[in-house]
Amino acid sequence: MSPDQRNQQEAISRDQFQHTARTEGQYVALIQSLIAVQHLGAGDLGKPEGWANESHKLAEKAWIDQGGSIDQKYYQREITVINKQLALAAVRLADLLERNLSGK
């Protein structure tokens, strides 16, 4: 990903978080509920290479060409993907910490 693409994605992420009109605590609660509702557990976490490939495919689908616009429809579609990815990241990080800090 080029620096311009990375900057565009960072701006989108920042705007989308602000667009949620939630406090940080409310957003954390949303992610926690997603983990519970979608049964995102440590059972089938896969490997980091798979995570990277999955994220790359999702980013390609979300990509907007230069000059394109991000409207409400785009936001609604992509915020769902972002929220799920954040929930998966939380589960994966918790599993990684548990395994490494517990000596398993």
Residuewise pLDDT in 10s, the chain (104 residues):
667 666 666 665 565 555 667 888 888 899 999 999 988 876 667 888 888 999 999 999 999 988 888 888 888 899 999 999 999 999 998 888 888 898 75
Amino acid at 87: A
Work out how many domains the chain is built from and give that number.
1
Q: What are the angstrom distances between the C-alpha of 59 and each of 52, 62, 94, 101? A: 10, 5, 24, 32
Cα 17 from Cα 27, distance rounded (Å):
9
Task: Look up the domain containing 38 and give its range.
Answer: 3-101
Answer whether 0.75 is exceeded by the pTM.
Answer: no
